[in-house]
Amino acid sequence: MTKIATLEINGNKYEFPIIEGTQNEFGIDIKTLRGVTGGVTTLDPGFKNTGSCESAITFLDGEKGILRYRGYSIEELAEKADFLEVAYLLIFGELPTAVQLEKFDADIKEELHVDEDMKNILDGFPKSAHPMGVLSSLTNALIAFNPGSVDVASDDAMYRAIVKIMGKFPVLAAWTMRKRKGLPLDYGDSTLGYVENLHKMMFARPNRVYTKNKIVNDALDKLLILHADHEQNCSTSTVRIVGSSHAGLFASLSAGISALWGPLHGGANQAVIEMLEAIKADGGDTAKYIAKAKDKNDPFRLMGFGHRVYKNFDPRAKIIKVAAEEVLADLGMEDPVLDIAKGLAKVALEDEYFVKRKLYPNVDFYSGIIYRALGIPTEMFTVMFALGRLPGWIAQWREMRQRKEPIGRPRQIYIGEGYRPFVSVEKR
C-alpha cells in the first residue's frame, strides 16, 4: 500500500506519496509540490534533507556505518577485489566475469596515451600550480582532442568513452606530479596492471629500471577502492548536475575534480597531514588543537573529522587506520604523525563536544599517512582521491543520463530588495 505524507499549509492539506528504497529508506516525493500548492517550495541549504535522485549504485547507512557498492560491503571489496573489478562493478552494476574483466582491462590499455599536444597545455602551467587545478584543466582539455559528445543512447559509445577516460585519467594525474617534480613524462607500461601502471607512471625514473612492489600496489589498490564511490557527495552531485545539462562526460568530470579539491571534501586529506605536521611542529600538544576546534570564535576545524552522513563511524576510516599501521610495518617505517593522529582521535572521541555532535575520524584522517609512506607528495593526495573516485563519478553520470533525469536546477527563497526604479549615476 502506498504510504502518504500529509502537508498542511494555511489550513489546506496536500498529500504526497512516500517512496521506499530497497533498504527501508523513505523519502517524501514532492515532485508535485509547487504545482499543487501554487508555488510553495522547500528550503534545505546544503541539501541536508534532500534526496536529489534515486540511485542503485551505492548504499550507505550513516547511523550503522554501512557502505556498500552495488550491494557488496566495502570491507569485503577492500579485502578481496581489485580496483578495476570494483570500477567495473560500480559502472556496469555487476562484478565482471573473467572474460569481461580481461576485455575491460585490454580496452583501457588501448587508451593509455594522450595526444602529445596535451603536453603543451601542461607546459603552460607553472611548476607551483596545484595538481588538482592542473588535473581539472587537463581533463577538460581532453575534450578538444576527443571532440563530439557521447551518444548516451548507444551502449557502445558510452563504453568507448568510459574506457577512454579510465585509460587517460591516470596518465594525466601522473603527469601533474611529474611536471611538479621536473621529471620527464612517462606513458607507463601496458603489461602492468592498472594500479601498478599508475604507480609506474608516477614514480618511474628516467635512468632506472622500474620495479614493482606488492606492498605498495596492494595499499594503493585498497585506497582507490575505498574512495571509489560515496553516493551523492559534493563532487558526485556536481558531476551529475553538470551532466544533467547534457554537458559531456569529461566536462562533468572536470567540474567534479574542482568540487573535490575543497578542504571540506577531498582536499581534507592534504589538510589533515598539514594539520598533523603543524601540531608536531608545535610540540605535539593535541589538547591545544582540540580546544581550538571547539572554540566557535576560532575558524580552525579538526580536519579529517566529522561527516555529513556518518554519525557513528566511517567504515572506510576503520579500514584505513588498520591499513596505515600495516603499510608502515610492512615497509619498515615509522611516522610520528601516526601517533599524533591516534592521540588526537583518542582525545576527540572522548570529548563531549565531539561525542555530542557525533564527529568521528573520516576517510581522510588516516589516508594521508599511507600516501606519505608510499612516497606520494602531500599536494598529490587529493589527486589520489580523484583517481579512486573516477569510476564512481562515471557510474553516477551514466546512471543519471540513462534515467533521463531532468536538468538540475534548484529553487530559492528570494530575500533581496523588492522592485526599485532605476536611479541614474549622477543621482546616486
The catalytic residues are 307, 364
- Residue 330 or 351: which CB sits closer to ligand CMC? 351
Instruction: Establish if 364 lies at the interface with ligand CMC (CB under 6 A).
Output: yes
According to DSSP, the β-strands at 12-20 and 66-69 are unpaired
Distance, C-alpha 149 to centroid of its chain: 24
How far apart are the C-alpha atoms of 154 and 159, rounded to whole Å?
9
When binding is defined by CB under 6 A, the residue of 30, 121, 253, 363 that contacts ligand CMC is 363
- Alpha carbons within 13 angstroms on the beta-carbon side of residue 135 total 34
Selected range binding ligand CMC among 86-94, 208-216, 244-252, 362-370, rule: CB under 6 A: 362-370
When the beta carbons of 305 and 366 are compared against ligand CMC, the nearer one is 305
Q: Does 303 bind ligand CMC (CB under 6 A)?
A: yes
How many CB atoms sit inside 10 A of residue 405's CB? Answer: 16
Does 136 interact with ligand CMC (rule: CB under 6 A)? Answer: no
* Sole residue written with cell 522547500: 42
Question: Does 392 interact with ligand CMC (rule: CB under 6 A)?
Answer: no
Among 119, 181, 346, 357, contact with ligand CMC (rule: CB under 6 A): 357
Q: Choose, by CB under 6 A, the member of 118, 152, 198, 268 that binds ligand CMC.
A: 268
Grid cell in block for residue 306: 566529522
Contact window for ligand CMC (CB under 6 A) among 121-129, 241-249, 300-308, 328-336: 300-308
Binding mask 230-249 for ligand CMC (x = CB under 6 A): ---x----------------
With contacts defined by CB under 6 A, name the span among 177-185, 258-266, 278-286, 402-410 that binds ligand CMC: 258-266
Half-sphere exposure for 413 (CA within 13 Å, toward CB): 6
Alpha-carbon distance of 258 to 321, in angstroms, equals: 27
Residue 344 binds to ligand CMC (criterion: CB under 6 A): no
Task: Compute the distance between CA of residue 199 and CA of residue 193 in angstroms, rounded to an integer.
Answer: 10
Q: Is 266 in the site for ligand CMC (CB under 6 A)?
A: yes
With binding defined as CB under 6 A, does residue 60 bind ligand CMC? no
Distance CA 212, CA 188 (A): 12
Question: Residue 168 or 307: which CB sits closer to ligand CMC?
Answer: 307
How far apart, in Å, are the Cα atoms of 60 and each of 55, 56, 69, 224, 316? 12, 11, 9, 18, 11
In the complex, minimum distance from the CB of residue 266 to ligand CMC, in angstroms, rounded to a whole number: 5
Q: Which residues face 3 on adjacent strands?
A: 18
Closest approach of ligand CMC to the CB of residue 296, in Å: 7
Helices 336-350 & 286-294 angle (0-180, nearest 10): 50
Q: Does 317 bind ligand CMC (CB under 6 A)?
A: no
- Applying CB under 6 A, does 307 fall inside the site for ligand CMC? yes
Near ligand CMC in 179-208, by CB under 6 A = none
Measured distance CA(374)–CA(342) in Å, rounded: 20
| Site mask for ligand CMC (CB under 6 A), range 18-57, x = bound | ----------------------------x-----------
Q: Give min distance, CB of 271 to ligand CMC, in A.
A: 7
What's the CA gap between 215 and 424, in Å, rounded?
70
- CB of residue 393 vs ligand CMC: minimum separation in angstroms? 13
Q: Which is nearer to ligand CMC, 30 or 348 (CB)?
A: 348
Whichever of 302 and 340 has its CB closer to ligand CMC, that residue is 302
Least Cβ distance, residue 272 to ligand CMC (angstroms): 7
Q: Assess 389 for contact with ligand CMC (CB under 6 A).
A: no
Asked if 217 touches ligand CMC (CB under 6 A), the answer is no
Task: Identify the CA nearest to 27 among candidates 56, 60, 3, 43.
Answer: 3
Residues that contact ligand CMC, how many (by CB under 6 A): 20
Which of residues 301, 328, 377, 405 is near ligand CMC by CB under 6 A? 301
Examine residue 265 and tell whether it contacts ligand CMC (CB under 6 A). yes
The residue with its CB nearest to ligand CMC is: 306
288 binds ligand CMC (CB under 6 A): no
Q: Give burial (CB, 10 Å; 0-12/13-18/19+) of 29.
A: middle
Tell me the C-alpha distance between 25 and 363, whole Å. Answer: 24
Interface with ligand CMC (CB under 6 A): 46, 233, 264-266, 268, 293, 301-308, 357, 359, 362-364
